Structure 1
């Protein structure tokens, strides 16, 4: 499965094509679906461009995307940095009316088990985000695998070799715990394309998009998210 991560916490100062508003995200969703992406990962924005989990902003964005790409699964980030931050954002998650299909939860954050429970109670699937082997150890020790849709092995190193080394340590921890959940492997900046290639080699899911990096495999800056999606599909062969 190829997921398109459209914007993350980036602004147009990083790349003018970063989609921010609900309408921009909806237009980008159409483009990446046509390019071959199967699912979406977005960071909802407030009117001022800041990341938000506020229910009305999330509903507006999810509705716009669903009108544009009916049936395409939509996931959102729930990072602890998103205002109002920390456990105060739990109220927003609890009050969502228009719900995403799934949401990612970073196991490196103190309240990760609580956020997973909030999402599960709300009928929202969970992507468990593991940035390193410490996150993996916490995941297998504290989280009921049945509460999760998949594991995100999210390598934050910009060095491809370091990222793949860490990813395989995470894979080993998951195997030892008999975790049979689907895995999505992705990198960041310089490790984006090594992780995409390794995901395809191992028959895993992966993701691509401006959130993770703006460069194509040849080093050129992508014109848009759809360019990145097409490049990832070409690597799959």
Structure 2
């Protein structure tokens, strides 16, 4: 089972005292999260102003540092339109990422414009794709386009836990019926983050946790940092059934 630490997401700098933004912060946080039990990392690169960026001059130095000084686990980067709102500009930026500084994988949200074209580009560049599937319609795109996904990230965005569970159940059911065999990771956000993680553990799916998904512990208290969130997820994963 993978335990992915999602370190920062699209949260604004200062949203949490321990949110990592700079390369130095991300590098330190990566080591702490892996020491706490994370087996992989997911990062949203940031420019010098703290804004999300897919620019080669931002992605390259980040990946070089993570490769040279990081904790030695797989690293995925976002390609969400929150980082670059123009899908064609996004395509161009990813095309210009240095071959020497590519991530192990990237997440591609299949409901976003230009997603299938981006998947083909990444396949050509031999970068693994983790398909972000938020809805049943996105799952249909995965199946119809025969997306070569290394993993499927089932990501219900509903605010209410029961609504998120219904959506996740519908997506997982469609994947089963379509014979999609790629490993699955289930996660929520904010109020649904911990319930979805517990559901994923019960179903034997991969999990992720971090300040991208929630800034709070299950009891509602503010999490100290990413490592604290990961450590609690590891405890849950290790608890007797």
Using the size of structure 1 for normalisation, the TM-score is 0.96
Corresponding residue of 1:109: 112
**CA-CA distance at 1:69 after TM superposition:** 2.5
3-state DSSP of counterpart to 1:149: strand
The offset of 1:84, in angstroms, is: 6.0
Hey, what's the Cα distance between the residues in 2 that align with 1:79 and 1:35? 27
The SS at the match of 2:20 is coil
Q: Which moved more, 1:11-20 or 1:204-213?
A: 11-20
Give the 5 Å matches for 1:27-38.
Answer: 27-38=28-39
Aligned pairs for 1:45-60 within 5 A: 45-60=46-61
Partner of 2:229: 228
Partner of 1:105, secondary structure, is: strand
Q: How does 1:196-211 map to 2 (within 5 A)?
A: 196-211=197-212
Picking from 124, 127, 131, the partner of 1:121 is 124
Q: Which residue does 2:171 correspond to in 1?
A: 170
Which portions of structure 1, spanning 4 or more consecutive aligned residues, are displaced by more than 4 angstroms? none
**Superposed displacement of residue 128, structure 1:** 0.3
> Alpha-carbon deviation of 1:49?
1.0
Aligned to 1:131: 134
Quote how far apart the aligned CAs of 1:50 are.
1.0
Q: Which residue of structure 1 lines up, in the alignment, with residue 80 of structure 2?
A: 79
Instruction: Using the TM superposition, give the Cα deviation of residue 229 of structure 1 relative to its aligned residue in structure 2, in angstroms.
Output: 0.2
Gap regions ≥5 residues in structure 2:
none
Q: CA deviation at 1:161?
A: 1.4
CA displacement 1:52-98 (0-9 Å, x = unmatched): 11112101111222233343100000012323622111111011111
TM-score by length of 2: 0.94
Separation in 1, partners of 2:213, 2:119: 23
User: 1:84 & 1:139 partners in 2: Cα distance?
Assistant: 21
Aligned equivalents of 2:199 and 2:73: distance in 1? 25
Q: Residue 217 of structure 2: SS of its match in structure 1? A: coil
Contact 1:40 1:74 in 2 (8 A): yes
Judge conservation of contact 2:31–2:71 (CA < 8 Å) in 1: no
Cα RMSD for the two superposed structures: 1.1
Between 59-68 and 197-206, the greater mean CA deviation after superposition: 59-68
Q: Give the whole-Å Cα distance in 2 for the aligned partners of 1:81 and 1:215.
A: 23
1:123 deviates by 1.0
